[in-house]
Amino acid sequence: MNNLNSLSGKKILVAITGSIAAVKAPILVSRLIKAGVEVKCVMTKSASKLVSPLSLSTLSRNQCYQDKDQWDDSQTKPLHIALAEWAELIIVAPMSATSLSKFTCGNADGLLASILLASKSQIVIAAAMNTSMWENQSVKKNWNYLKTIEQVISLEPSKGLLACDRVGDGKMVSLDIIELASESAFIFNSENKFLTKDLKNIRFLVSAGPTVEDLDAARQLTNRSSGKMGVLIAQAAKLRGADVDLVHGPISVQEDLLEGLNTYPVRSSSEMGAKINDLQPYAQVIVMAAAVSDFKKISPSEQKISKEFFLQSIVDDLEMTSDLIKTQTAKRLENQIFLGFAAETGSDQEIIEKGENKRILKGCDLLMANPIDRDGQGFDKNFNSGFLLGPKKMVKNLSFSTKLSISHQLLDEIRNLKSKISINF
């Protein structure tokens, strides 16, 4: 991610174990340092054969600790205790099969193993290994147990080309996803709680980004939406255990931020509506965050229209697109929750009034009305704010914050609404 402001000033221990993905650790450390994080590193003996401890020390501006340092007689406190107490968050990236086994079995053999057992902070663990190792029943058993530990945010490996030239599951998730998980951990830690899988077994359907309507061979109708808000809602839900389908227009976010989601790229409003219609019956929560074009040309020209005739061709051949939210809420199944979005301008009161009118008209349970005429937020920005509107004239002010923080607040309200209407997820 380009914006990691919420991590600035935090103390993070980056732990590296013996997987070839360890070569990505210096990049992770460098990114965290640039974001203002205070970083310390610890590595296993196997990891030191893959990446230089000196490079990590240089990048982090702190000593890189190894097993040989654990019982240094100059220590006034056991090193594993000191580091466990110092770290506000621990990132293990990558986590090898060996280190996974030690942690899940309570084995304190080695500095890192001892730190993980002594820590009371949240731990982000990103596994990486050969596909056959990942699919081994013993490893799966350890990983499944790891996922039950409230303290741990577990990031399963993705599918890709591995160092052994095999294509399969085992590739460490992208650094963008590791950073999202870390930022999410601190969002929840501010309330003295861990990020947990409170959305487990819930299926989300999220729409994101703009749609594009062709006018002729050279021109099109679209808008300034980047798709960041919808993508981050999708990833936040996944981090909290949900299964997520993401239907998106031509978004302008890093491709790595789509990792782990079931993605369905579309272009036009009609394509988006058709795909959402296909997926809606399988979802318990539908988040309509896409900025759908309001108009489309009835008969787009396959040729470029000369500018002398272009305006007239638009006037004679333009129609409104379907209201996708209203169309889908009309087809809602029992106990489905709909969250809509409305990009607005004006004063706070004007935004609230226009948002509530749209919530009722479109049939949404919840609707976020967000201003797009204020500096540093809205379309194509990392920050947002607005008003979450809901049943019984509920108005909740979502103050200026990162879009990831806003995403988690919206998910909290979905959970609250679920309990009020007794939905059995």
The answer to whether the CB of 398 falls within 8 A of the CB of 388 is yes
For residues 369-389, average pLDDT: 88
Tokens of 176: 């963008």
Torsion of CA 47, 49, 53, 58, to 10 degrees: -110
pLDDT of residue 378: 78
Would you name the residues annotated as active-site residues?
A: 164
**pLDDT tens, position by position, 392-424:** 889 999 999 999 999 999 999 998 887 654 444
Q: Cα separations (Å) of 19 from 172, 194, 344?
A: 9, 27, 48
For residues 305-316, average pLDDT: 77
Least confident of 136-145, 221-230, 349-358: 221-230
Residues whose CB falls within 8 Å of the CB of residue 383, separated by 6 or more in sequence, listed in order: 3, 376, 377, 400, 401, 402, 403
pLDDT of residue 419: 63
pLDDT of residue 2: 39
Domain layout of the chain by residue ranges: 5-189, 203-420
Least confident of 10-14, 83-87, 271-275, 316-320: 316-320
Select the CATH number that applies to the domain covering 203-420 from these four: 3.40.50.360, 3.40.50.300, 3.40.50.10490, 3.40.50.10300.
3.40.50.10300
For residues 285-294, average pLDDT: 94
DSSP string, 114-163: HHHHH--SEEEEEE---HHHHHSHHHHHHHHHHTT-TTEEEE--EEEE-T
Confidence of residue 5 (pLDDT cuts 50, 70, 90): low
CATH fold of 5-189 reads Rossmann fold (3.40.50)
What is the chain's mean pLDDT, rounded? 91
Give the N- to C-terminal CA distance of the chain in Å, as an integer.
32
DSSP string, 307-355: HHHHHHHHHHSEEEPP-HHHHHHTTPPTT-EEEEEEEE-S-HHHHHHHH
**pLDDT tens, position by position, 146-193:** 999 999 999 999 887 777 777 888 899 999 999 999 999 999 987 778
Cα 73 to chain center, whole Å?
A: 43
Rounded to whole angstroms, the Cα distance separating 293 from 318 reads 12
Tokens of 62: 């702190």
**Above 70 in pLDDT, residue 95?**
yes
Handedness of CA 273, 276, 280, 283 (dihedral sign): negative
